[in-house]
Amino acid sequence: MLPNDHPSVSFGKIGVLLVNLGTPDSTSVSDIRRYLREFLSDRRVIELNPVLWQVILNLFILTFRPPKVAQVYKQVWREDTDESPLRYFTRMQAKKLAERFSNNENVIVDWAMRYGNPSIKSGIRLLQEQGCDRQIIVPLYPQYAAATTATVCDEVYRTLMDLRWQPAVRITDPYESHSLYINALANSINEYKATLDWNPEKTILSFHGIPKEYFDNGDPYHCYCHKTARLLRIALNETSESMPLTFQSRFGPKEWLQPYTDKTIEQYARDGIKNLLLVTPGFSSDCIETLEEIDIAARESFIEHGGEHFATVPCLNDRDDAIDLYESLVKEVAGSWISVT
């Protein structure tokens, strides 16, 4: 029997935790250095000898890179809410998803970041404190990769290892071919193209890259990206010629998945392509990789090499059809958890 003064324990609710990659707390160099240290110390992200990598990371990367990254974040930082676009849109996704379950007081929706704040650990613990003894984790990565989806799972399991009373946990599937995801992408592209006063000659599907070595070692990410691209082309009646797939954001000297987005854009401009549209289907929310790397840096490169019109379709962000997708993913994995409450 528990002592009379034992604190009451809440249970019986379902927690939903949306998880995105992460973001620094501010544009200060110290906050960005802290964020990069956590992100680049993940051995699924950087698969090098850990001792050697820590020397490189601490002596070189964390010394010279944070000031440069700070300038990048300052270009896209949301001054109205004083946060990164990634944090803003992830927060809005959780808010709008919570509204979908507003008629069920037993479902609580929150959000977290794999790196930075709020952490997965704090998110799981907060949901548990609110009585969520069943929790659904939603990694906001359409295409599975060990460096994204798997590391979210790693952190969830590490958190559970420290809990005496573990909640039951379910993790949603990658959704690279989900009909609601493909439809939302197609809708976003069609709607954005309708706002242009020029016609794209090419529409590039740019996904975040990974080192080719990861793919050679069995990571399925490359295949998932091509699956998304194929289904999206079918939905839009496009071809691989009119809607090519590329990979962006390579880092370090190793070969990454090809073709590279930046090199492809330069070559198209040199070849006389004047009108180019970019889509970033692998990102659930706009972030520095879409807003700065693509919409600013890639645009400048295209114009510099002879292009004329360049546009980037916004990510799905908090569109209604994106929330339809997340609601469906939650209900699919929840099963009787939600239907019986």
Contact 175, 164 (CB under 8 A): no
13-174+320-339 and 179-312 in the same fold: yes
- What local confidence, expressed as pLDDT, does residue 2 receive? 45
pTM listed for this prediction:
0.95
Strands 13-23 and 275-279: unpaired
- What local confidence, expressed as pLDDT, does residue 301 receive? 98
- Annotated domain spans of the chain: 13-174+320-339, 179-312
- What local confidence, expressed as pLDDT, does residue 11 receive? 85
Is the domain defined by 179-312 classed in CATH 3.40.50.1400?
yes
| CATH topology classification for 13-174+320-339 | Rossmann fold (3.40.50)
Beta-carbon contacts of 276 under 8 Å, excluding residues fewer than 6 positions away, are 200, 201, 202, 203, 204, 265, 268, 269, 302, 307, 309, 310, 311
Contact 130, 15 (CB under 8 A): yes
Backbone angles phi, psi at 308, to 5 degrees: -120, -50
Structure tokens at 268: 């198209």
- What local confidence, expressed as pLDDT, does residue 338 receive? 85
Q: What is the mean pLDDT of each run of 10 residues along the chain (341 residues)?
A: 54 96 98 98 96 96 97 97 98 98 96 98 97 98 98 98 96 98 98 98 98 97 98 98 98 94 98 98 98 98 98 98 98 86 42
